[in-house]
A and B are shown apart, each in its own frame.
Chain A
Amino acid sequence: MTGQPLLSVRGLTRDFRGFRAVDGVDLDVTAGSVHALVGPNGAGKTTLFNLLTGFLRPSGGRIALDGRDVTGLPPERMAQLGVARSFQITSLFPRLSAREHLELALQSGSGLGWRFWRSAKLLRRYRNRTEELLELVGLGAHADTTADVLAYGRKRALELAIALALEPKVLLLDEPTAGMGLEDVDRTVDLIGRVRDGRTVVLVEHNMSVVGRVADRVTVLRAGRVLVEGTYQEVRVDERVISAYLGTAATGVDDVAR
């Protein structure tokens, strides 16, 4: 399994009206690894993320998933092929309960969604799996709470749960700790540690201490290009990375960006 790139990107480029947000990015995500994308604001992380999940079409380059060319497929096809994502700004269904979120995610691959003549009670078949996933992310007590009244940290946990419900080959997390207090950040790091077993995770993250704790590989982006790729230990002392973040300074990035 090791050394085999599950997600392979070559020369990926995206232009917005003359502005090149992502510029010839090469990226290999090894199966079973946690791969972080970091970089200063405007480095193209979120654009790259949207390209990988089909929400944007690339202007050039190739994306391969498990050896299959998936360049330019729409988001629903990417999801069906095993690329699940969370959103930077929490993106849920405000009037559905946590349980209904998971049922909606779990029925996605089954074709059940087309059965307009059947009762929604059919979804009870997902009860056990729903409970399992809610327990996993710590929402066991909130199964019947609608998403709009969940606390922020719990909304993020629910996001993660519905992404996991898709049984993805690759799980893409867009700033999973954005806007969180320290306590929630710790809980999320624990959570990522728990769900990464047997899964491949790509995450965009600003918080370098989070990156240091969860990531096996780190790709640093700057102005749409790959600046450095390596382990966290390699990257954090790299001169180019430090200057990208700070102009020029002598400290390690994690001491400042924390």
Chain B
Amino acid sequence: MTERSRVVTPEVAAGAGASASASAERSAERPAERPARPPSVLGAVAGAPTWFRYALLAVGLGVALWLPNGLYPTVAVDIACWALFAVSVDLLLGFTGLLSFGHAAFWGTSAYVTGLVAIHAGAPFPVAVLGGALAAAALAAPIGYLAVRRTGIYFAMVTLAFAQMVYYVANEWRSVTRGENGLQGVPRELAGLDLTDEYYFYYAALPIVLAGLFAAWRIVNSPFGRVLVGIRDNPARARALGYPVHRYKLTVFVLSGFIAGLGGGLFAVGHRFVALDVLHWTTSGKAVIMVVLGGIGTLWGGLLGAAVLVRLEDWLSFSGFDTIGLVTGGIFVLVVLLFRRGIWGSVAALAQRLAAGRRRDS
């Protein structure tokens, strides 16, 4: 949405700050004539009234509770896990301006650690997932420390390089990871409950998913989140205001690794199996595609992107289509070329335009 407003010259924008023509010019921007509430860093819903945001939250929770009834429960579990992963990527990409192309390292490390803890310690699955996520966060610290010194494409390359290293270590360390056979028979232990049915496991896992999503929302809407957005938009200015930019980036990188780890751990328990491809670079790429598809910097977009992509892939493979990558790749290209804001961002922009139009008419 900055694209549009950059076109507006400062003179025009200021001189006609309250006039209808100017607000039509920057309909994607929060209209200046409604100063009642400060605009949120959550750009896509910034113009929406409070009741609308609560309604949105209610709908989101409703969908989350209904999901395994409307979809094949295995797919529902996958969507929930990938949603966490996508949101963790959006935390960096959308709110800090860092494109991590190696987040599979945290998703996959957590999947393996969760699997190992569950198998060898027989721990209840939430404990195993927490252990996996903590391991992912611990791994994110040194990788982040080195990566945040770079920006843009170099940051993406450094994260990719480290993720590839983790992949090869896992491949070679067969005594622990079982190499290409993967970890088999990851148990789903929780207080003696029978969770073998995916339908019940979905509901057992849902609190962890919601906790992870809430954490991401809280991070974005905290004083810390404000600093992140400042760093994203103008790092030099943030430094001049006294913020140690590297340390902030490292902190959010570790937090993001933790949330990705929650998703990866649940994914391992959900599939009762951990294979090497959880660490593969295509896994990192898939999470990025989900965020871009859903809408960067919106959080909701990550959920939507995960739902759409997982459902689509499931449908394609069920139909016997064997070049899924071609379809998802094609969609990715289309979104980047035509809908830069992603699904969520485009819909939100459209809604704001309509709302602005209605105000003008009345």
Contacts and interface: CB of A to CB of B under 8 A. Distances in A.
Interface of A: 53, 55, 74-76, 79-80, 84-85, 87, 91-97, 99-100, 103-105, 107-109, 112-120, 122-123, 143-146, 148-152, 154-155, 162, 166
Contact of B224 (A76, A79, A97, A113): A113
21 contacts: A53-B240, A76-B239, A76-B244, A85-B240, A93-B229, A96-B39, A107-B227, A108-B243, A113-B243, A113-B248, A116-B255, A119-B218, A120-B221, A123-B223, A143-B35, A145-B32, A146-B30, A149-B13, A151-B10, A151-B13, A166-B241
Nearest to A54: B239
B265 interface: no
A76 B251 contact: no
A104 to B, nearest CB: 5
A104 B14 contact: no
A122 B223 contact: yes
Contact of A152 (B10, B222, B248): B10
B316 interface: no
Interface in B181-237: 218-219, 221-227, 229-230, 233-234, 236-237
A154 B225 CA distance: 26
Given A107-B227, A152-B11, 5 more contacts: A55-B236, A93-B233, A120-B221, A122-B223, A146-B29
A119 B223 CA distance: 7
B2 A96 contact: no
A75 B234 contact: no
Q: Which of A95, A109, A151, A162 has the most CB of B within 10 A?
A: A95
Q: By DSSP majority rule, is chain B's interface helix, strand, loop, or mixed?
A: helix
Interface of B: 1-2, 5-6, 8, 10-11, 13-15, 17, 26, 29-30, 32, 35, 37-39, 41, 43, 218-219, 221-227, 229-230, 233-234, 236-237, 239-245, 248, 251-252, 255
Q: Which of B41, B223, B224, B226 has the most CB of A within 10 A?
A: B223
Contacts of A74: 239, 244
Contact of B39 (A115, A144, A150, A162): A144
B39 A116 contact: no
A143 B233 CA distance: 19
B275 to A, nearest CB: 33
A166 B242 CA distance: 9
Contacts of A166: 241-242
Contacts of A112: 223
A118 B5 CA distance: 31
Contacts of A118: 222-223
Given A95-B43, A97-B39, A76 B242 contact: yes
A37 B17 CA distance: 36
Contacts of A76: 239-245
B242 A109 contact: yes
A109 B8 CA distance: 35
A117 B243 contact: no
Contacts of B245: 76
Contacts of B43: 95
Contacts of B29: 146, 148-149
A132 B236 CA distance: 26
Nearest to B219: A116
A145 B35 CA distance: 8
Contacts of A93: 229-230, 233-234, 237
B239 A113 contact: no
A144 B243 CA distance: 23
A100 B234 CA distance: 14
Nearest to A113: B227
A232 to B, nearest CB: 28
B226 A116 contact: no
Contacts of A100: 38-39, 41, 226
B226 A123 contact: yes
B47 to A, nearest CB: 12
A123 B244 CA distance: 19
